[in-house]
Amino acid sequence: MDFKFSEEIAAVQDVARKFVDKEVRPRVAEDEKSHTFQRDLVDQMAALGFFGCPIPEEYGGNDMGFLAHTVICEEIAKVSGSLRAAFNMQTMGTAREIYQFGTPEQKEKYISDLVSAKTLGCIGITEANAGSDVGSLKTTAVKKGDVYILNGSKNWITYAQVADVGVVYAYTDPSKPYKGMSGFIVDMHLPGISSGPTAEKMGWNACPTGELFFDDVEVPAENLLGGKENQGFPCVMAGLDNTRLTAAAGALGVCQGLIEEATKYAQEREQFGRPIGQFQMVQEELARMIVETEAARWLTYRCAVQKDEGMLHNTLETCTAKYYTCDVASRVADGALRILGAYGYSSEYPVERLLREAKLYQILEGSANVQKMIIATDALGYRTANKR
């Protein structure tokens, strides 16, 4: 692996950093406090091409690839997890999923509008009793003439309250666990669809999260993802191979943001007549944070490079990167809090917010335990992770 970025990726990283410093950092604390959805910033990111990296130019993307996508996500997540979420809503869980599995007509109709943020997307998988076990979905879709009648509910859905289009999963044949599942591209403004907010969250407060309810919703048959019934479960799993990469990139950004804040504080804060950065216990803490973040970075970048080289179904490497990086983010957050002490517990410094954001990465897109299960069962020979 070449550990040096191409000029193109280095340039887009610089663009992302400048965007964060100019547009995001000055307002992130207030937007999080007021629970303000930053639609204007999402639009600006779309205009900069941030959502189009793993999407071909013919569908409105720039085809820069998965590593470019990863690097941009990392930069955004250094400051805002709420904005990082947009990369799955507009790209990986919607546009990219439709690109990989949709019909030519579906690709033409939906992808470019998602990449440009003309429409906002969401992913409808999680339900009250279907989290780690995706196969436990209760939402159903029954064929009736040229429409499917969609009934059920979803929860913990990012962008539930603001989405225009969603990739929603339901059972078309409930008698076949896992194998009877189908995906649908759903106009979220159809009659029978309603939404409501989730309970108050610990973090990501500028990112709308809610419940979705489907009451006899008539979805055109032409919106069946890929045009075939009972093909949903492979789509879900392949989609997670993409969204988990974005989650790892986000956790990586949180790590780096915390390191930068802790380093700056350790250089400025004085105790016993000198900066606390001169004390060995602070140095040990910071060194561990840096080394673990670098290890996480290369696991994440490896995953992205594999995808750029055509290995899209690198489930094992994706789960490894997602598990380790998200776990490291939590430890780095704890380390930064120890360095800043009481100030790290105060909203006066970004560490408090980044610590809350770090904890979520261990849960979203498949919990840490799910990732470990996939890794271990592959090693034991019980189930091959990279099946395709």
Quick: pLDDT tens for 101-155. 999 999 999 999 999 999 999 999 999 888 888 889 999 999 999 999 999 999 9
Is residue 312 within 8 Å of residue 305, measured between CB atoms?
Answer: no
Sequence-distant (6+) residues with CB within 8 A of 285 are: 262, 335, 338, 339
DSSP 200: P
In angstroms, rounded to a whole number, what is the distance separating the alpha carbons of residues 322 and 247? Answer: 7
Question: So what's the pLDDT on residue 280?
Answer: 97
Same domain, 239 and 361: yes
Q: Domain containing 243 — which CATH number? A: 1.20.140.10
Question: So what's the pLDDT on residue 199?
Answer: 76
Asked if the structure places residue 386 within a domain, the reply is: no
Same domain, 203 and 275: no
Among residues 127, 229, 292, 365, which one is catalytic?
A: 365
Same domain, 136 and 99: no
In angstroms, rounded to a whole number, what is the distance separating the alpha carbons of residues 17 and 50? Answer: 12
Question: So what's the pLDDT on residue 130?
Answer: 87
Sequence-distant (6+) residues with CB within 8 A of 18 are: none
Question: So what's the pLDDT on residue 372?
Answer: 95
Q: How buried is residue 214: exposed, middle or buried, by Cβ count under 10 Å (0-12/13-18/19+)?
A: buried
Q: What is the overall mean pLDDT for the chain?
A: 95
Question: So what's the pLDDT on residue 239?
Answer: 94
**Given pLDDT bands bounded at 50, 70 and 90, which one contains residue 387?**
confident
**Given pLDDT bands bounded at 50, 70 and 90, which one contains residue 1?**
low
- Looking at this protein, which amino acid is placed at residue 85? A
Question: So what's the pLDDT on residue 118?
Answer: 98
Question: So what's the pLDDT on residue 76?
Answer: 98
Same domain, 185 and 241: no
Same domain, 359 and 288: yes
Quick: pLDDT tens for 65-78. 999 999 999 999 99
Same domain, 304 and 373: yes
Asked if the structure places residue 218 within a domain, the reply is: yes
Look at the chain and report how many structural domains it folds into.
Answer: 3
Asked if the structure places residue 387 within a domain, the reply is: no
Same domain, 106 and 126: no
Quick: pLDDT tens for 155-174. 999 999 999 999 999 999 99
Concatenate the DSSP letters of all residues of 130-147 into one string. BSS-GGG---EEEEETTE
Quick: pLDDT tens for 260-311. 999 999 999 999 999 999 999 999 999 999 999 999 999 999 999 999 999 9
- Single out the residue of 257, 259, 260, 237 nearest to residue 249, CA to CA: 257
**Given pLDDT bands bounded at 50, 70 and 90, which one contains residue 2?**
low
Is residue 335 within 8 Å of residue 97, measured between CB atoms?
Answer: no
Evaluated on CA atoms 150, 207, 55, 361, the torsion sign reads negative
Q: Domain containing 149 — which CATH number? A: 2.40.110.10
In angstroms, rounded to a whole number, what is the distance separating the alpha carbons of residues 282 and 338? Answer: 9
Query: What's the alpha-carbon Rg for the chain, to the nearest Å?
Result: 21
Distance (Å) of CA 239 to CA 93, 205, 234, 318 = 6, 25, 8, 11
Asked if the structure places residue 2 within a domain, the reply is: no
Same domain, 211 and 303: no
Buried b (16+ CB within 10 A) or exposed e, 296-325: bbebbbbbbbbbbeeebbbbbbbbbbbbbb
**Given pLDDT bands bounded at 50, 70 and 90, which one contains residue 4?**
confident
Q: Domain containing 79 — which CATH number? A: 1.10.540.10
Quick: pLDDT tens for 184-224. 999 999 999 999 888 789 999 999 999 999 999 999 999 99
In angstroms, rounded to a whole number, what is the distance separating the alpha carbons of residues 50 and 77? Answer: 13
| 365 belongs to the catalytic site | yes
**Given pLDDT bands bounded at 50, 70 and 90, which one contains residue 37?**
very high
Give the H or E element holding residue 124.
strand 121-124
Q: Which of 93, 115, 137 is the last residue of a domain?
A: 115
**Does the pLDDT at position 3 exceed 80?**
no
In angstroms, rounded to a whole number, what is the distance separating the alpha carbons of residues 300 and 322? Answer: 7
Segments forming the whole domain that contains residue 243? 234-380
Give the H or E element holding residue 213.
strand 209-220
Tokens found for residue 31? 């937007």
Asked if the structure places residue 197 within a domain, the reply is: yes
**Does the pLDDT at position 38 exceed 90?**
yes
**Does the pLDDT at position 250 exceed 80?**
yes
Neighbours of 40 (CB within 10 A): 10
**Given pLDDT bands bounded at 50, 70 and 90, which one contains residue 388?**
low
Question: So what's the pLDDT on residue 200?
Answer: 85
Same domain, 86 and 22: yes
Same domain, 358 and 256: yes
Same domain, 162 and 68: no
In angstroms, rounded to a whole number, what is the distance separating the alpha carbons of residues 194 and 150? Answer: 13
In angstroms, rounded to a whole number, what is the distance separating the alpha carbons of residues 242 and 307? Answer: 9
